[in-house]
Structure formats: C-alpha cells, structure tokens
Structure 1
Amino acid sequence: MDYQHIGIAVLWTFLYGYIIVGAIDFGAGFFMLFAKITKQDHIINELVSRYLNPVWEVTNVFLVFFFVGIVGFFPDTAYYFGSTLLIPASVALILLSIRGAFYAFETYGKDTKFAWVFLYGMTGLLIPASFSTVLSISEGGFIEETKEGVILNWFELLMSPYAWAVVFLSIVSVLFISSGFLTYYAHKAQDTNAYELMRRWFLIWAGPMIIICQFVFLSLRQHNPEHFHEATAHYWWLFGLSILFFIGAVALILMRRYHGVAFLMIMIQFALAFFGYGISKLPYILYPYIDLNHAVVNDSMALALVIVFIAGLLLLVPSLLLLLRLFIFDADYVSGKRR
C-alpha cells in the first residue's frame, strides 16, 4: 500500500469519527428542541446536558484534522472544492458558530431562551445537510472547469435526486445514531422516562434509515453508474453486512437487551457502509478531476503527513476514550450524582 492510500484511509477514519461523535451531538440538539416544543424537555434535558458538557469541545477536532489532511495530501482539492464549496462551507461555519454560542449560554447563562434552543436544534440538522453537499459534488456532474476557473452548477445540484437523497440520508443518519446512543445512555443512567422516550424515537427513525439508504443507491445508479457498478459488483458484501448489523441493533433495542452492544452494532453498521462507499469510489476523490494516484503530494511530504496524522489519530482516539471513561461512562456522572 502506497502513501496516498494510507493517507486517505487515515483521513477517512477521521471523517468517520466525526460522523459518529458529531451525529450524537447534532441529533441531541434536535431532540432537545423537539422535547421542548412537545413539553417533554424535563425528561431528557438533564440526560443530554450530562453528555454534551464534557464532549462538545472535542467534536470538531476530527473535522479539522480531515480538512487539513485532505488539502495537505491532495492539494488539488483546494482548487476544485475551494471555490465551489464557498457558500455551503460558509453556511456550515456560521451554523457551527451558532452552536458554539449556545454552549456558552448553556454553560454560563442562568436561563436558556427558546430562541437559542431553536437555533441549536435546527443547526443540528442543517450542518450535516450542508456538509453532505461535499459528497454529492464529489460524484461528478456538478462542476464545470472553464477558462475563468471552476464553476458549480447550482441548478443541476438543486435538481439532482442523488444530491437530495444524500441530504436526507445525512439528516436521518444523525437522528438514528443519536437516538441509538441516547437510548443506551438513558438505560445506563437508569432514567426510565428518558429511556422510553429515546427508545421510541430510535425505533421511529429505524424505518426511514433503511428506506433512504435504498433511495441513495438507486439515485447513485442513475447519477454515477461507474461508482454504482463498482460498489455493487465488488463491495456488495460490505453493504450486506451493514444491513445485518442494522437489523441486529434494532432487534436488541426492541427486546430491551444489551443496549451497549446495540450501539456498537450501529457504529459497525455505519463503518461498513461508509468505508464501503469510500473504497468503491477509489481512485477518484472527485469525478473525474481528482485521481488519488495523480493528485497526491511528493513522496517525502506524503510520508511526513502520514506519520503526523497517524500520530494524531493515535493521540485523539485514546484521549476521547479516556474522556468517555472519566465522564460519560462513569457510574456517578451518568446517574447525575457527580457533575
């Protein structure tokens, strides 16, 4: 395996980490908003706050590593994605700033206003939707390279069934992952009311989760037949295993058993699907402009980046696990006896 394949594997792992940790955060915000609107906020607010307080500051570290790394390894991404993603990326940064402001008011303010909770909840859906445009654009067909530079065809993007399928997949995935984790967390905290509420939301979003995945595959076949054929012909088993882990997670939650194992199955489900999607797309990062084999930096720089980002991964993951052990999964902290 050469440097570019090692590099993209490490970066894809960072992005996967952000998807899982970020999804829990984003979904929790929406559930807080929905619970407040339906007068159920007294049931889950304490539970969500206990999770968010230690974790929210490290969530975006995964994302920063990925974007710095992708530009470092493959400089062409800055040229092609830089101008075309100016609007979506700016929107995402504004939304992330709003979430940061909410955390500040939640932590240091005496009272949380509904307007802040509304912004916090809605940004939890809008941020993954805005980021999902990157995956849509990377499939090709939306970028035109002219003498003046790279142009994003907004009309094609907005009219694309595949682009909208990916947007809805990002939103449903956030709600599915978050409700799965919070179900487990509420069970561990022995908070019966929060557990029943989160378990019901998890089962509600399980159906849309599997349906929207089928829509993504069907629309991908129409939008990028080459990628669809590669995924279904050579990596179908990864997606098949992903479905099996999905069924296993839903079955365990239905039976009210092994909630930690159920969430682990959710993580494996998304890992299989996410890495299956990424592997089947190679060697292209952006159809047809950025080829993994030709867009990488020189070997010495690539080696240095590989070492740095593997070291970063080996530092970040244990640090996150330690944080979870000290706070999130500590018996006294989970039950609310220690803050």
Structure 2
Amino acid sequence: MSTANTPTLELRNLEVSYTVRGIDRQVLRDVSLSIAPGEAYGLVGESGCGKSTAAFAAMRYLPRNGKITAGSILFEGKNIVDIGEGDVAKLRRSAISMVYQNPATALNPTIRIGKQIAEVFELNGASKTDALEMAQAALTRVQISDPAQVMRRYAHQLSGGMAQRVVIAMALASNPRLLVMDEPTTGLDATVEAEVLDLVRELRRDTGTAVLFISHNLGVIRNMCDRVGVLYAGALVEQGATADLFNNPSHPYTVGLLRCIPRGGLHKSVDRLDTIPGTPPALGTHFDGCVFADRCALAEDKCRSTQPQMVNISGSHIARCFHSDKASGLPRSV
C-alpha cells in the first residue's frame, strides 16, 4: 500500500540477464535504489554499464532476450515484476512514461504530430475532439510557440530540439508519477540542450513528478538531480546526494569519471584529458571480487577475490569499496 513516505520507484537487489547465443549474460548485478515522489535521481556510467537496462527494467520494457533473474521492482510499494502484461500496459498508459534517447525514432514518421499526441489522451478516455485540443495544450505546455502548426507536421519536419519537446509533451500527457529520461539531450547542440533541461526542470517543479535521469554527462546530472547512483559493469558502486558524491567521491571509478570532465585552463595542443586506464569488461563477465578491480590502482588480492559490500560514507552517501577512504587520493592518470 502506498503512503506519503513510499518511494515512487524502488529497485531491490535487481538482477537482469540477456540471453546471447543461448548463454545468459548478467548485465545488472544486485542493484538497489529508490526514488521519492518529486525527486530526480541520476544514474551515470560509461556506455554499456547497464544504465538503459535499468531504465527499461523499471518500465518492464526489456527486449525479448532480456529477463529479470532476481530482485524486485516496486512502483509505489507494489512489486510489478510478476504482474501481467495488461497491468503493465495500464501502468505505462497512466503512471509511468519514458523520454527516449533518440526522439526521431520515438515518433512515428507516417503520422502527424498532433494525432500521435492525441492518441495518448484517447487511450485514457478522451474523445477525438477533446484529445486534439488537449494535444495542442500539451505542446503549449512544453513551450512550443506555434503548437497548431507543429500539430500538422511529421517527425522529419522537426528539428532535434523540437522533436525532443514533442516527445516530452507526449510523455507528460498522462500526468505520470514517474518519468524515465534515457539520455534525453544526446545529439543536441549546447544551446538546445540547455533549453530542454530548463524545460524539464520547470515541468518537474510544476508537476512534482519523480524522475529517473539516465546520462553519461556528469555536468547534466549535477545540475538536474537530487541524488546520483554510479553504475559500473552492471553494479551500483556509489550512491548519494549529488553534492556529497561530487564533492567527496569515494569509489575509485567515480573519482576517475569526475576527473575525465574537462578542466578550465586546459589547451588541446598542450594538455591531455584524464582517462581511466584499461577497458570496461565484456557483457556478462563473471567477477569473484570487485567489478572494478582490474582497472583500479588501489586493488589488492582481497579486491579480486571478495565482493565488497556498500559502506557508509556520510548520511545517505555509500560506496562499494574496501578502500573508500583512500579513493580521493588516487593520482591522476595524466
């Protein structure tokens, strides 16, 4: 039963595998996180670390070769792992929405924009006439200055920023309690990205919607999210309030990620960006110990043979590392 203190979304010890050539390969490892009503939670990490898988799992929208092998997904206190497809569809229609990474592929190229948005309202019981009026209002809500004209267009006639606004309008049409945003600014130039992020921030403030924000852009996460989780090789290695995690990173991988952000005063002809030595593990790699041990300058034999548990750093700030007290002192790679 949902109460005022019940998280909108909670993942408990979630594990997900993909079947590749007949072999199950684990992509999420014992992931636990929660998002309170009205909170924005950012999930960061390198490409292939499992961020999007976590997002699709939260919506029960995994591809055919994906399956939840352990753990639970609670939406407003109810475990949705084992509910039927009809109930899942109802949730997506009325309570959970997603903004996809590429707005061009999220929109139907053969249907006018107005009709696509109106369909969302029709699915929730509105008449065709009312749905079209509500679709135009939805476009106005996302600060599109000429919604009537945009309603008549097809997806290929929209700029990247305009298409993303349309996708956000569709996602918010059902007044969802949870909005999942998977790399929503990928491919947008800096000016358009700033406009889209300002829009998301304003809409979140107005609606009180909980947001799961997936991104590899640490600057975006820092500006948009209340709390952050860092994912590596499918494992959550650090989690905490945004300010705590950015000011006091306590897992070597988080330290490395933050040091990869370009610093002021660097010049491309003289300076080099920091890097994290080594390469990410292949999909489904088995680990006896820490998932980051092979790339970590602090790793010892224990790190390779024993999986570390989360340790408390301060408040809600936790890190999965035997050497969390030494992480911030790691030497730079360049």
What is the TM-score with the length of structure 1 in the denominator?
0.28
Query: Which structure has the highest strand share of the two?
Result: 2
Q: Normalized per residue, which structure has more helix?
A: 1
Give the TM-score of the pair, scaled to structure 2: 0.28
Greater RCO (Cα-Cα under 8 Å, separation 6 or more): 1
